[in-house]
Amino acid sequence: MPQTFSVGSRSWLVSAVAWAFVACGVLASGLTLLQYAVLGSMLPSWAGALPPATALLLGHLHWVLAAAGVLSLLLLASGVGLALRLEWARRVAIGVLVAAALANFAGLWLQHEVVQALVTRVADLAPLPAAARGLFDGFAYAAQGLALLLTLGGCVVLAWLARSLASPMVRQEFA
C-alpha cells in the first residue's frame, strides 16, 4: 500500500528544531561576543603549567571563539530558514547537527584535559591528607564519568535529530 503524505503540513519536529535553533543561535552569539570581549582577562596566570595541547588551544582561543561566533550565526540563520521551510536551511541544519555531535564527541578529550589539569593543580596547591586526596580524586573521576555519559547522550540526541530532519516525511515539507 503506498504511503501518502499531506503536502504542506507542518510537523512539530521541524518547528521545534527551528525555534530551538533560533533561541540557541541568539544565546550563543551573545555569549560568544561576551567571551571574545573578556578573553584576555579570563586566562589564568598558571596557563603555562597546562599540558602542551591544552596550552596550544588556549593560545589560539581567539580563533576558536571566532569559529564559535560563525557557527552561532549559522545556527541562527538555519533556524530562521527552517521556520520558513527552506530546503537549504534543512541541509544546513543537518550539517550543523552532525558537526555539533562530532565536536561534542571530540570534546571528550578536552574535558578530560581540563579536569585533569584543574584537579592536579588544586591537589598540588592544597596540603591534603592521603584519604582526602583519594576522596577528591574520586569526586573528580565521578564528575568525568557523568560528563562522559551526558556528552554521549547529547551526541545520540543530535544524531537522531539530524536523521529525523533527513527523513522522507520531513523532506516533503520542504518541497
Could you count the other beta carbons within 10 Å of the beta carbon of residue 18? 22
Regions of the chain where pLDDT drops below 50? none
At residue 139, the pLDDT reads 82
At residue 40, the pLDDT reads 59
At residue 141, the pLDDT reads 82
In a domain, 6, yes or no: no
Going by C-alpha positions, the residue among 117, 137, 144, 138 that lies closest to residue 54 is 117
The vertex-56 CA angle with 52 and 62, nearest 5°, equals 160
At residue 113, the pLDDT reads 78
In a domain, 7, yes or no: no
* Residue 7 · residue 172 · CB < 8 Å: yes
Residue 91's domain comprises 12-174
Residue 132 to residue 58: CA distance in whole angstroms: 31
In a domain, 81, yes or no: yes
In a domain, 135, yes or no: yes
Count of structural domains, the chain: 1
In a domain, 5, yes or no: no
At residue 10, the pLDDT reads 80
In a domain, 2, yes or no: no
At residue 107, the pLDDT reads 83
At residue 140, the pLDDT reads 80
**Residues whose CB falls within 8 Å of the CB of residue 98, separated by 6 or more in sequence, listed in order:** 158, 159, 162
Helix axes 61-83, 87-125, angle to 10 degrees: 150
Residue 78 to residue 10: CA distance in whole angstroms: 17
